Amino acid sequence: MSLHPFGTLDDGTDIQEIRLQNAAGARASILTIGAVLRDLQIPRADGSLQRVVLGYETLEGYKANPARVGATVGRNANRIADGRFELDGRAYELPINGAGNVHLHGGPVGFALKPWTIVEHGDSFVVLSLTSEDGDQGWPGRVAVTCRYDLLEPATLTIAMSGTTDAPTILNLTNHSYFTLNDAADCRDHVLHIPSEFYTPAAANLIPTGAVAPVAGTAFDFREPIRIGDRGPDCDVNFVIAGPIGAMVPAGRLASPDRRLAVDVVTNQAGLLIYTAGGFKATAPGIDGQVHGPHTGVCLETQAFVDAPNKRHFPPTVLRPGQTYDHRVEYRFSRS
């Protein structure tokens, strides 16, 4: 592990880059802004490294980061309809910052854009923390969260996110990395396998209708591995992960177009949201000249269901004093 200056925010806060490496040679780069996964490189058979996520070259890309590239997103990942929800009989209003009159990814200055603090670190791991005060972006309660990255042998990245609160609130985090398993490949040429039998259909503004519907006969049936583009032009949909919530279960598998590199997603969350980045724009230079733009990466977001606070039959996202939010995900890379 090594620490490197990565620039300074407009308010004078210094941002650090934490570089991790394991014994097999895998490397990861984490930033203290947004607890961002800036870079992840997996060893090839010849000893060279292959970059498998999108990242920005400089801090400028992360100051606004409209696509939340690599960030830890909160307090609530994804969308809240009309920026409103009720909790314990009290109505809350959140800022609208997404198309379709929605509150998106925790608000205009959510966790993805805030400086985090390094708590602990080692050669192949780092723990970062953030405190969000009562009323931050309209959310109730003072929330303290941590995000731990571990780079395991030979090529697995684990992310563990936890949180506590001093008052009832909503907490639903995710990592918002864009994965690409072939350099400069269109993500729709990747092969996707999701064993889920069900998904949550959504309206035009991507707020779920409330239904939990079978994937059979739809464009979202990935129960057998298939090229993403063969299912349609784009994807931004939540799948219901089979298995008990809280247990670590396989959620999906993404393979490169030639199927020589794959990543398995294993998590304890209720949902896996797949976003093929149709609206992703190149707002800043990519790391080492990496190409950014529509469909240059695919998000594999483990999280609670979209708009869960407004859907009583969805798995709950309420966090109360004395409880601990627990979110774990593993991205396991393998070659054939």
133 is catalytic: no
105 is in an annotated binding site: no
312 is in an annotated binding site: no
* Gap between the Cα atoms of 69 and 59, Å rounded: 12
177 is in an annotated binding site: yes
Catalytic residue among 105, 121, 295, 301: 301
| DSSP letter string, 101-132 | TEEETT-TT-GGGSBPEEEEEETTEEEEEEEE
* Gap between the Cα atoms of 1 and 126, Å rounded: 9
301 is catalytic: yes
78 is in an annotated binding site: yes
* Gap between the Cα atoms of 95 and 107, Å rounded: 6
In sequence order, what are the residues at sequence separation of 6 or more whose Cβ sits closer than 8 angstroms to the Cβ of residue 194? 222, 223, 239, 251, 252, 253, 272, 274
92 is in an annotated binding site: no
Catalytic residue among 103, 105, 121, 176: 176
Cβ–Cβ under 8 Å, residues 171 and 324: no
178 is in an annotated binding site: yes
Active site residue ranges: 176, 301
Annotated binding site for beta-D-galactose: 78-79, 176-178, 236
Annotated binding site: 78-79, 176-178, 236
